Amino acid sequence: MVFAPGEQAGNEPEEAKLQNASKQIVQNAILQAVRQVSRERRQRKDKTGDHRGSFQLGVGELTKKHEKK
């Protein structure tokens, strides 16, 4: 093996540890981002669903009041 100045033979396991740690950090970041997007979509869907339901209920009440006259 050929080593650059300042490198030692024992650095390979350390480099492998750093690579594994880097991969784990990236995987965790991706997982966290996916969870956040999923959570935001659920919240957006819940908000949209609530507005539609209350709007439809309001329309139904107006129709009933109109029919009584």
Q: Can you give the pLDDT at residue 47?
A: 84
Please count the structural domains in the chain: 1
User: Is residue 3 domain-resident?
Assistant: no
Q: Can you give the pLDDT at residue 54?
A: 47
Q: Which amino acid is at 68?
A: K
Digit-by-digit pLDDT tens for the chain (69 residues) are 455 665 555 578 899 999 999 999 999 999 999 999 999 999 998 887 654 444 454 555 555 555 554
User: Is residue 67 domain-resident?
Assistant: yes
Q: Can you give the pLDDT at residue 10?
A: 59
Q: Cα 11 from chain centroid?
A: 36
Give the structural domain span for 36: 25-69
Burial of 58: CB neighbours in 10 Å, binned 0-12, 13-18, 19+? exposed
Q: Which residues contact 1 (CB under 8 A, 6 or more apart)?
A: 9
* DSSP-based three-state secondary structure for 52: helix
User: Is residue 44 domain-resident?
Assistant: yes
User: Is residue 17 domain-resident?
Assistant: no
Q: Tell me if 61 sits within 8 A of 67, measured CB to CB.
A: no
pTM of full prediction above 0.95: no
